[in-house]
Amino acid sequence: MSVFPTRRLRRLRSSQTLRDMLTEVRLSRHQLIAPLFVREGQGVKMEIPSMMGHYQHSVDTALDVVRRWSDKGLRAVLLFGIPDTKDAVGSIAWDGDAATQRLASEIKAGIPDMLVITDVCLCEYTGHGHCGTLYTRPDGQVDVDNDATLESLARTAVSHAQAGADIVSPSAAMDGQVAAIRTGLDEAGFQSTAIMSYSVKFASNLYGPFRDMVGSVPQSGDRRSYQMDFRSVRQSILEAQSDIDEGADIIMVKPAATYLDVIADVRRRFNVPLAAYHVSGEFAMIKAASQAGWLDERGAVTEITMAIKRAGADLIITYFAEQLAEWLDE
Ligand code: PBG
């Protein structure tokens, strides 16, 4: 027997007011994190075509951007550094005078309410483009040396904390990276510096534009011996659990819009705050289609960002943060 005409689902969709009242998912600019890329130099603002609207900035021009974002109501930035010189271990990553550290301290000095989160990884700083120090395994394969890399990551995180970072965010996908960083921070007196770990990070084909931006394409091989295989989704649970046990304050799933199932699953199982990273390739797809006139950008971006929120993310790292800050009404 049909419930129609008693049940009419369209009744509750009949006015804007009703639709607004019944909204189950809210997205606020306070939940967004805006990535920002900083390099050496003065007055630099270099656009990277695959990341339309995003630039390599020097510290001075980056600071102007952070001021503008702050005026628009954004509350958090995620900093990535692009060094002038690279070496085998990525030692500029923990140089206290490098661009990331200088920008972090200038933001905290000039715009103290802006939350400074720093990406802790070595791929931007190593000549070979991998996320740590290389070694040759007993079977002859060249691979990233997990435990040697932990020390570099901890040093990098401590140097970011010394520069004023509120949260450090390890993305190297090394086992034990959260524990190593927590120990390093605590020993240096930074008990209150939080860790947002890229816990569930897939070896994705959607990081291409980011690697154009920071110049971190591996010279040989790929990242599949450390980042997760996108066909093996159950490992997400162990990755997230391990990071929480090691002391992660916030965990992350990355990419986001193509991994909504993973976000929802991690959300259900764990009670720590969850971030999701809407990555560069996901950004570029929407941007390109909008530029071609094939998608309405505002509509598409709002819908997809809401979908990430609806799946269970508390925080969203997005290259659309500035536009969303203009579009959202909260
Ligand atoms: C590693 C890192 C990457 C991204 C964030 N941190 C690249 C990678 O793992 O190869 C990708 C982010 C994006 O595509 O937007 N430092």
Out of 153, 171, 212, mutate this one to test ligand 1's pocket (max ligand atoms within 8 Å of CB): namely 171
> What does the pLDDT read at residue 1?
65
> What does the pLDDT read at residue 2?
79
Q: CB of 123 closer than 6 A to ligand 1? A: yes
Out of 78, 117, 121, mutate this one to test ligand 1's pocket (max ligand atoms within 8 Å of CB): namely 121
Q: Is 72 noted as a catalytic residue in this protein? A: no
143 in helix, strand or coil? strand
Q: CB of 204 closer than 6 A to ligand 1? A: no
Report the C-alpha gap between 76 and 121 in whole angstroms: 19
Q: CB of 279 closer than 6 A to ligand 1? A: yes
Other C-beta atoms closer than 10 Å to the C-beta of 163 total 22
Report the C-alpha gap between 68 and 70 in whole angstroms: 5
Contact 95, 104 (CB under 8 A): no
Pick the residue whose CA is nearest to atom 2 on ligand 1: 171
pTM over 0.95: yes
Out of 36, 200, 210, mutate this one to test ligand 1's pocket (max ligand atoms within 8 Å of CB): namely 210
Q: What CA–CA distances, in Å, run from 196 to 139, 295, 323, 328?
A: 34, 33, 24, 25
Model confidence pLDDT, tens digit, residues 53-93: 999 999 999 999 999 999 999 999 999 999 999 999 999 99
311 in helix, strand or coil? helix
Q: Write out the DSSP string of 202-250.
A: B--TT-HHHHHHHT---SSS-STTTSBPTT-TTHHHHHHHHHHHHT-SE
Other C-beta atoms closer than 10 Å to the C-beta of 155 total 19
Contact 278, 209 (CB under 8 A): no
Q: Is 108 noted as a catalytic residue in this protein? A: no
Q: CB of 121 closer than 6 A to ligand 1? A: yes
Report the C-alpha gap between 112 and 176 in whole angstroms: 31
Report the C-alpha gap between 307 and 310 in whole angstroms: 5
Q: CB of 320 closer than 6 A to ligand 1? A: no
Q: Write out the DSSP string of 104-123.
A: HHHHHHH-TTSEEEEEE-ST
CA of 78 to the centre of ligand 1 (A): 12
Pick the residue whose CA is nearest to atom 11 on ligand 1: 207
3-state SS, 147-211, equals: HHHHHHHHHHHHHHHHHCCCEEEECCCCCCHHHHHHHHHHHCCCCCCEEEEEEEEECCCCCHHHH
Other C-beta atoms closer than 10 Å to the C-beta of 210 total 24
Report the C-alpha gap between 177 and 152 in whole angstroms: 10
Tokens 């524990």 -> residue: 179
Q: What's the number of CA atoms in the CB half-sphere (13 Å) around residue 15?
A: 3
Q: Write out the DSSP string of 21-82.
A: HT------GGGEEEEEEEESSSS-EEE-GGGTT-EEEEHHHHHHHHHHHHHTT--EEEEEEE
Report the C-alpha gap between 265 and 255 in whole angstroms: 14
Contact 275, 252 (CB under 8 A): yes
Helix (H) or strand (E) holding 277: strand 274-278
**Alpha helix (H) ranges present in 247-279?**
260-269
For the chain, 330 residues long, give each residue's pLDDT as a single digit of tens.
Answer: 679 999 999 999 999 999 999 999 999 999 999 999 999 999 999 999 999 999 999 999 999 999 999 999 999 999 999 999 999 999 999 999 999 999 999 999 999 999 999 999 999 999 999 999 999 999 999 999 999 999 999 999 999 999 999 999 999 999 999 999 999 999 999 999 999 999 999 999 999 999 999 999 999 899 999 999 999 999 999 999 999 999 999 999 999 999 999 999 999 999 999 999 999 999 999 999 999 999 999 999 999 999 999 999 999 999 999 999 999 999
